[in-house]
Chain A
Amino acid sequence: NAGVMQNPRHLVRRRGQEARLRCSPMKGHSHVYWYRQLPEEGLKFMVYLQKENIIDESGMPKERFSAEFPKEGPSILRIQQVVRGDSAAYFCASSHGQGATNEKLFFGSGTQLSVL
Chain B
Amino acid sequence: GQNIDQPTEMTATEGAIVQINCTYQTSGFNGLFWYQQHAGEAPTFLSYNVLDGLEEKGRFSSFLSRSKGYSYLLLKELQMKDSASYLCATGGGNKLTFGTGTQLKVEL
What is the interface of chain A, defined by CB distance below 8 A to chain B? 4, 33, 35, 40-45, 48, 55-56, 58-59, 91, 99-102, 104-110
Which of B91, B92, B95, B99 counts the most A-chain CB atoms under 10 A from its CB?
B95
Helix, strand, loop or mixed for chain B's interface?
loop
Q: A99-B30, A104-B33 are in contact. Are A42 and B98 (CB under 8 A)?
A: yes
Give the shortest distance, in Å, between A29 (CB) and chain B (any CB).
14
Closest to B47 in A: A104
- Point out the residues of chain B lying under 8 angstroms from A45, CB to CB: 95-97
Bound: A44/B97 CA distance, A: 7
| Residue of B with least CB distance to A101 | B30
Contact indicator A102/B50 (Cβ below 8 Å): yes
Q: Say whether, besides A104-B45, A109-B41, A42 and B94 are in contact (CB < 8 Å).
A: no
Cross-interface CB contact of A42 among B42, B50, B90, B100, cutoff 8 Å: B100
29 A-B contacts, Cβ less than 8 Å apart? A40-B100, A42-B4, A42-B87, A42-B98, A42-B100, A43-B43, A43-B87, A44-B98, A45-B96, A45-B97, A48-B95, A55-B94, A58-B95, A59-B95, A91-B43, A99-B30, A100-B91, A100-B95, A100-B96, A101-B28, A101-B90, A101-B91, A102-B30, A102-B31, A104-B33, A104-B48, A105-B45, A107-B43, A109-B42
CA distance A110 to B28 in the complex (A): 28
